[in-house]
Amino acid sequence: MTMPADALVSIRDLTVQFRTDRGWVSAIEDISLDINAGECLGVVGESGSGKSVTALSILRLHARGTARAARGSIMLDGRDLLRAPERDLRRVRGGDIAMVFQDPMSSLNPVLTIADQISESLRLHQGLSRAEGRSRAIELLDLVRIADAPRRADEYPHRLSGGMRQRVMIAIAIACRPRLLIADEPTTALDVTIQAQILELLRDLRAELGMAVMMISHDLGVIAEFAHRVVVMYAGRIVEQAPVGTLFSAPRHPYTEGLMTSLRGRDIPGQRLGSIPGRVPDPDESIPGCRFGPRCAHVEAVCRAAVPALVSISENHDVRCTPRSQALAPACL
């Protein structure tokens, strides 16, 4: 498969299934997207939309035996990561691609010092000694703006605040200067002030290190501030993707427009926020045609006849919606 010239990672037709009591069930279907070198790609959608499944699939981090890639490819440097040997993946994880999770307390080892945890990937990927690893760990703690780095390097995770633990997770992720950093809801458990600091840190590190960032979030405000392009997911499929300015000024899928109503007037006293009725369907629910149909105010018979294709409606703007529904959906906020 030929990757676009500026694509760092190229995902094509990815379908991932999970084993259940009723057999294999698709959690994501026919996902195709590119992550370009140096850019920030935002991925948004409600819980259960497939955002994290897509991200974890890039590094094949799903529990073995419980998930499988039924079809598709994930290309990096001419290699398909879905079919790469495990020893090759170990070099990719933390080297070329790193990931930051939303709950640093469960991701950090409680019985190892901060320095040991940061230097682990350095010793694995760069062959540093323990002393060299600790020295580099202190430099990384400085880089992620943790004060008194030498002292903090010798402490254990429970001694740090939530914001500091998340900074440690970022330090671990960038230790080997990855080309792609996947940030899965990195600010969810933090208060608003710390959220802003973490986002500013990630923005500065992306510029300083020249890495791409895949930012996964359910918070459109975070994505609006951080991303260059946005992918909107619903029930395991991409329903819209566009540059951030285009998506926020002219959403074309009814689901995207519904998400936007949560932003309108949220800072206006007395203004009631909009909502989307219903819920995201379970992966094994049988819904004919468009899976958003049961919640869509513009649904028609044609929407239930077949799954809409993801089509380009303008430059760099794709939408999965029948033409008539697109015309009915609000074109702008």
Q: Which of 177, 253, 170, 173 is nearest to 208 (CA)?
A: 177
- Domain positions in the chain are 253-333
CA distance between the termini of the chain: 39
Q: What is the pLDDT of residues 257-314, one digit of tens each?
A: 999 887 755 555 555 556 788 899 999 898 999 999 999 988 988 999 999 999 998 8
Residue with tokens 């203004």: 271
The amino acid at residue 147 is: A
The structure tokens listed for 144 are: 């992620």
Q: What is the pLDDT of residues 200-219, one digit of tens each?
A: 999 999 999 999 999 999 88
Which pTM value belongs to this model?
0.90
pLDDT of residue 208: 93
Q: Which of 175, 162, 106 is nearest to 136 (CA)?
A: 175
Higher pLDDT, 4 or 183: 183
Exposure letters 29-57 (e unless 16+ CB within 10 A, then b)? bbbebbbbebbbbbbbbeebbbbbbbbbb
Q: What is the pLDDT of residues 26-46, one digit of tens each?
A: 999 999 999 999 999 999 999
SS3 258: helix
